[in-house]
Amino acid sequence: RKPDELAEKFGGFAMAYERFQDSLHLFDVILTSTSSGKIMITFDDIKRAVKKSPGKPLFLIDASVPRNIEEEVSRIDNVFLYNMDDVSAIANENLRMRMTEVERCRGALAGRAARLWEQMTSQLSLPS
């Protein structure tokens, strides 16, 4: 079975879909990525998982469009939900920071090029 092969490759384990909601407390990170269009993980599912593992942070990444994890789970202590909007915002902020750095580098290069040009032209204008 493909799930077993994949799990073995990464040191994990596979489980039947019917069992996963009762096993959420076993995980540190849960990633959903389906096109099902329905909620697969509810507020109550996560509430139960947190009760089974109190104090343990749980990271949820919902890469599904439409979403598979109820937004309300983010209100639960130690539960951190990220969805595609969050990923997009992070990517946009990273792009903005990179573009700012590109402009800073362009300015530094332009300054250095101007100094080199001045040196070259001053050497050319000196009598030999």
Number of domains into which the chain is organized: 1
The Cα–Cα gap between 47 and 43 comes to 6
Q: What is the pLDDT of residue 126?
A: 64
CATH number assigned to the domain comprising residue 95: 3.40.50.720
Residue 95: what pLDDT? Answer: 92
Q: Which of 12, 71, 83 is nearest to 43 (CA)?
A: 71
Q: Backbone phi, then psi, for 17, in 5-degree steps?
A: -55, -40
DSSP the chain: -HHHHHHHHTT-----GGGGGGGGGG-SEEEE-----S--B-HHHHHHHHHHSTT--EEEEE--SS-SB-GGGGGSTTEEEEEHHHHHHHHHHHHHHHHHHHHHHHHHHHHHHHHHHHHHHHHHTS--
Most confident of 89-93, 101-105, 118-122: 101-105
25 with 61: CB under 8 angstroms?
no
Query: Is residue 14's pLDDT more than 90?
Result: no
Q: What is the per-residue pLDDT across 98-114, written as a single tens digit (0 to 9) for each?
A: 999 999 999 999 999 99
Cβ atoms of 79 and 60 within 8 Å: the answer is yes
pLDDT tier at 127, thresholds 50, 70, 90? low
Query: What is the average pLDDT across 75-100?
Result: 92
Domain that holds residue 80: 2-124
- Residue 59 tokens read as 């990271």
The arithmetic mean of pLDDT across residues 48-75, rounded, is 94
Residue 74 clears pLDDT 90, i.e. is over it: yes
State residue 19's pLDDT score: 87
Whether the Cβ atoms of residue 53 and residue 79 lie closer than 8 Å to each other: no
| pTM of the predicted protein model | 0.67
